[in-house]
Chains A and B, each alone.
Chain A
Amino acid sequence: MRRAKPTTIAVWTLVALVGAAGWTVLAVSRGEEVSAAWMVAAALGSYAIAYRFYARFIANKVLKVDKNRATPAERLDNGVDYHPTDRRVLVGHHFAAIAGAGPLVGPVLAAQMGYLPGTIWIIVGVIFAGAVQDMVTLFFSLRRDGKSLGQMARDEIGVVGGAAALIAVFAIMIILLAVLALVVVNALAGSPWGTFSIAMTIPIALLMGFYLRVMRPGRVTEVSLVGVALLLLAIVAGKWVADSSWADAFTLAPSTLVIWLIVYGFVASVLPVWMLLAPRDYLSTFMKIGTITLLALGVLIALPDLKADAVTDFASRGDGPVFAGSLFPFVFITIACGALSGFHSLVSSGTTPKMIQKETQIRVIGYGSMLMESFVAIMALICATVIDPGLYFAMNAPAGFIGTTVESASHAVTGFGYSITPEQLQAAAKAVEEQSILSRTGGAPTFAVGMSDIFSQVIGGKSLKAFWYHFAIMFEALFILTTVDAGTRVGRFMLQDMLGNVCKPFRNVSWKPGLWFASAVVVGAWGYFLWAGVHDPLGGINQLFPLFGIANQLLAAVALAVCTTLLIKSGRLKWAWITAVPLAWDATVTLTASWQKVFSDDPRVGFFSQRDVYSKALDSGKVLPPAKNIDDMHTVVTNSTVDGLLCALFALLIIVVILDAGRVCLKAVRHPATTPLRETAFVESRLVAPAGLIATKEEKAELVAAGVGGEGGSRAEGPEAEPTGASAGGSV
């Protein structure tokens, strides 16, 4: 054993103390305002320890990453999709691909239970489950030429597990798109400023698309600078529109916005990629990275005080207005992205493994990027808890709970145990220049208010508050709309693939009638849930969000089951717990949540008991609040039936995948010879590159010895051999 240097020990002791101090203050403070600095300290301290020790242990001891083994990027290098990419660049790519609206929405909703449960789950969850899932999936996909999760499930578990995984991905896509679209509807309804700014992103993207296609292909930077400038102009211009006679034209009711979104989703997904999707993708990615960086700086500079309670009464009573159900299991499915997100396994298998230089880099790319996303979730939680709790509940409780006037909302909030006057509610709306901020459910507006609070403390003061609010709304809506477009395409592709087995012409994915039909089906499916969510008298977000959470955690269960199976099949039974324990936890949480959603006697939680209550009332011709008429009653009955059935389907899929994986694992333990591993054969690597972001002393010496620059590159074999990786960096 190599002895650690005294300075190393001192540094890590200090990091541990900082983290521990953060946790202690968060845990013992009650009834006083706590600075967000403690939350940041607890998060960063824990991340550092986890990255240095746990992730390293998994990479070196469990997975035994091999720096001498050539990665798919090195072996299959074609200069386009397979190519060894600098690790620092790839961290950026991977992070941009995994972080989206998810980590900004879930923590805001979970803040109804106070800041402590969310903080604990985001930090502990990412360390032991989320980041582990991302890294291990990345590793196994890397050893299989970048195969997707679905393919790995089929190859390594079997046809049944593979099919269940495929259905899970499709179902999740539909629910995800519906929930995200609902977030946008709730943020833009009745807001001419927001609606105008978002509408302007379409012509801006078309312009950029035309420029990149026809005028100067590939010049992303210049056109993106123009795009971002126009985007900022669109936000500023939104205020002018809202104050002008055009305001009415951009003040849209939720049901109108639903129709626009459905039309947009269909048209955008059948247009060529270059027109709308590709330029939008650039815009939303740059906005995302820029805003997240700004937010991190804002939080660190302002270090605001948390106004929410550490743990609210809703955590144990389970009757919260934002979403129903008690802390266990519902906090753990509400916060998916940021702690454990099944969706990431789709990015970790597929795109990223085709670009990694060295196996040793999976720690920084897989584990490190996920820690960054987790920190985004912590910042979202900070945004939701620095605002007044009374305002938080007025914004996040559906109209069925708090009514539609500031007076009724103030009254209802008092009933929740908090206080806010009608005048304060009016002033809060005025500060961000909205007509009303009541029942703006879905997380985005709350996040935007919190972010504008923090930003205006740093720059601009009160005068810029409305601008920052709409900036945040724009930034979330922009990448949600990009996801709506891209997700519809992915759903369509999967559907075309499935239909192709039945009807041959569908196999050709560019066959226009098939393409339009499949697009219409996918848009119709998420459009249905969006429509139902907007018209649900009980509130769309609190009905649909649990479904989204369950679906996402179901996908995580698939990924963790595949990882566990592979660990066992590759003779790592002793270490299988590193994914088996998170799998057990994930399965317990998800199955308990589905069980309660299906069988609970509490009509606020269980879909079917809710259905019973409303259909019995319907039989006797009664109208139960918050429904206002018989039509509303029918809506509740239909929605709760559909949601309940979906929940049951998700639970069934998890059970199928786990049982099938369990069968294969058992077989692998008993008769190892009968369960062959489908790993690509070892090829000696010629690339030399550091593992972490910063090269260590030994790595630097190795780079020099190999005759390549600081970027890493191929070991020169002959005098004229050009080091490929170095030429990318050396040409600067």
Chain B
Amino acid sequence: MTAAALVRAARRFRWFWRELSGESAYERYLAHARSHDPRAKVLTRREFERRRTDEREADPREGFRCC
């Protein structure tokens, strides 16, 4: 395997992992907000993550896992 292929595989893994763990949620939110209005006021990462966790407080059925 060449070095370039290795780097590509590592990048894919990193992307997959960040998607799966929800770490990329903020970037997705930013991209979404900016795609409608590039100068839109957006939440900071801290505010966004707080809101995301606190939403589970309001409706615990979101993100519930099975037995």
Contacts and interface: CB of A to CB of B under 8 A. Distances in A.
Contacts of A80: 25, 29, 32, 52
Interface string B28-48: 110111010000000001101
Given A79-B31, A490-B64, A727-B31, A86 B19 contact: yes
A273 B56 contact: yes
Interface in A40-69: none
Nearest to A721: B35
A97 B61 CA distance: 12
A282 B59 CA distance: 18
A89 B19 contact: yes
Interface stretch (A194-202, A336-344, A410-418): A336-344
A483 B65 contact: yes
Interface string B1-36: 000000000011011111111111111110111010
Contact of A221 (B17, B25, B27): B17
Interface in A135-168: 148
A98 B66 contact: yes
Interface residues of A, number: 65
Interface string A86-110: 1011001100111111100000000
Nearest to B24: A728
Nearest to B46: A217
B35 A724 contact: yes
Interface string A334-377: 00010001011011001100000000000000000000000000
B65 A79 contact: no
Interface centre among B14, B29, B45, B56 (most CB of A within 10 A): B56
B67 A102 contact: yes
A218 interface: yes
A486 B19 CA distance: 23
Contacts, number: 135
A224 interface: yes
A607 B21 CA distance: 46
A278 interface: yes
Contacts of A99: 66
Given A337-B66, A341-B66, A493-B60, A218 B19 contact: no
Contacts of B19: 85-86, 89, 728
Interface residues of B, number: 42
Contacts of A722: 35
A620 interface: no
Contacts of B17: 221
B67 A493 contact: no
Given A83-B32, A727-B31, A728-B24, A347 B15 contact: no
Contact of A83 (B28, B46, B60): B28
A489 interface: yes
B20 A93 contact: yes
A180 B26 CA distance: 35
B65 A281 contact: yes
Contacts of B29: 79-80
Contact of A101 (B25, B45, B64, B67): B67
A81 B28 contact: no
B65 A218 contact: no
A218 B58 CA distance: 19
Nearest to B8: A732
Contact of B53 (A88, A221, A273): A273
Contact of B67 (A217, A274, A277, A483): A483
A220 interface: yes
Given A79-B33, A346-B66, A722-B35, A221 B21 contact: yes
A260 B24 CA distance: 37
8 contacts: A89-B16, A219-B23, A221-B21, A343-B66, A482-B65, A486-B63, A490-B60, A490-B64
4 residue pairs, one from A and one from B, having the closest CB atoms = A79-B32, A489-B60, A217-B49, A732-B15
Interface of B: 11-12, 14-29, 31-33, 35, 45-46, 48-50, 52-54, 56-67
Given A89-B19, A344-B66, A731-B15, 4 more contacts: A221-B18, A273-B60, A486-B60, A724-B31
